[in-house]
């Protein structure tokens, strides 16, 4: 029997206060047109052709979530019930999806396939999400937990000086950071009654680091440290108006 949780990250959920203003801000930043009437149940999806960015006004006040894919929600839930966890929510189902959360991860089975996104501009400076980040206080424990979750082994990442990375079948890979790369502070979440490191949520690729920094600043993003060099990579970090953080690095791919 195949493993019930697939090594695919279809999306990351980004909590926002006001969906309309956040959607307009990201559309401007990502050089996208907003699809009329595409606000569904308090979310808006920006599809990068791999791992999507989902703005979620329902989850404001909670940490971001990493979404993993499954073809069998019942089997996935049974597996997660036996997998070490701090929190495990019940399965929620509607005509579109069946989902549940385990810790800061969502497991999702889609019942309908959405229409392909045709609004992605080829010239956009922020190209795609290359890595989704897991922030860890115990690298060995986090690596083992996610290796078992998706039944795939971590390997040293070729870009970020060997930080453990679990390569997905498609879309963004999962990079596990013990704060050597991100060097980010903890944030208190009332919903979890604890301090958690959540930023950056993910890593984006660009062909022009300097131009991308100028662009995010021109859109009102906070990028206080400018361009930094760490773990063998030149990058900058920025935050949106709701405090959600991302890291951007330059690639020659």
Q: How far apart are CA 167 and CA 150, in angstroms?
A: 10
| DSSP bridge pairs for 88 | 102
Same domain, 70 and 44: yes
Same domain, 214 and 132: yes
- Residue 41: what pLDDT? 77
Same domain, 151 and 238: yes
Q: How far apart are CA 95 and CA 143, in angstroms?
A: 34
Same domain, 88 and 15: yes
| DSSP bridge pairs for 195 | 188
**Cα–Cα distances in angstroms (integers) from residue 11 to residues 22, 178, 201, in the given order:** 17, 22, 11
Q: Within a domain: residue 116?
A: no
Domain count, the chain: 2
Tokens of 156: 């040293």
* Domain end position, chosen among 85, 110, 135: 110
Q: Which domain CATH number covers 105?
A: 3.10.180.10
Tokens of 181: 């790369």
Same domain, 98 and 131: no
Q: Within a domain: residue 118?
A: no
Across 57-71, 105-119, 154-168, 203-217, least confident range: 105-119
Same domain, 75 and 163: no
Q: What does the mean pLDDT of the chain come to?
A: 92
Report pLDDT digits (tens) over 35-45: 766 666 789 99
Q: Within a domain: residue 121?
A: no
Q: Within a domain: residue 219?
A: yes
Percentage above 70 pLDDT, the chain: 92
Interval 86-104 mean pLDDT: 94
Which residues form the domain of 81?
Answer: 5-110
Cβ-contact 234, 250 below 8 angstroms: yes
Report pLDDT digits (tens) over 149-183: 999 999 999 999 889 999 999 999 999 999 999 99
Torsion of CA 10, 14, 15, 18, to 10 degrees: -110
Same domain, 143 and 235: yes
Cis peptide before 40 (omega within 30 of 0): no
């Amino acid at each position: 029997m195949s493993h019930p949780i697939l090594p695919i990250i279809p999306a990351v959920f980004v909590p926002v206060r006001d969906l309309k203003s956040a959607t307009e801000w990201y559309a401007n930043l990502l050089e996208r047109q907003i699809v009329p009437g595409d606000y569904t149940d308090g979310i808006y999806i920006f599809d990068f052709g791999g791992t999507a960015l989902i703005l979620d006004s329902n989850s404001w006040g909670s940490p971001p979530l990493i979404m993993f894919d499954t073809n069998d929600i019942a089997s996935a839930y049974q597996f997660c019930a036996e997998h070490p966890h701090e929190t495990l929510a019940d399965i929620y189902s509607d005509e579109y999806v069946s989902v549940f959360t385990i810790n800061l991860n969502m497991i999702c089975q889609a019942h309908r396939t959405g229409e392909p996104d045709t609004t992605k501009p080829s010239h956009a400076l922020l190209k795609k999400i290359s890595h989704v980040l897991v922030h860890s206080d115990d690298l060995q424990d986090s690596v083992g937990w996610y290796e078992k979750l998706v039944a795939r082994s971590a390997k040293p990442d070729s870009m970020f000086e060997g930080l453990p990375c679990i390569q997905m079948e498609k879309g963004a890979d999962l990079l596990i950071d013990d704060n050597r790369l991100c060097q980010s502070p903890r944030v208190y979440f009332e919903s979890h009654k604890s301090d958690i490191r959540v930023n950056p949520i993910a890593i984006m690729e660009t062909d022009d680091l300097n131009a991308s920094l100028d662009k995010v600043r021109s859109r009102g993003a906070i990028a206080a440290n400018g361009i930094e060099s760490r773990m063998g990579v030149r990058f900058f970090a920025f935050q949106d108006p709701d405090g959600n953080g991302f890291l951007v690095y330059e690639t020659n791919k």
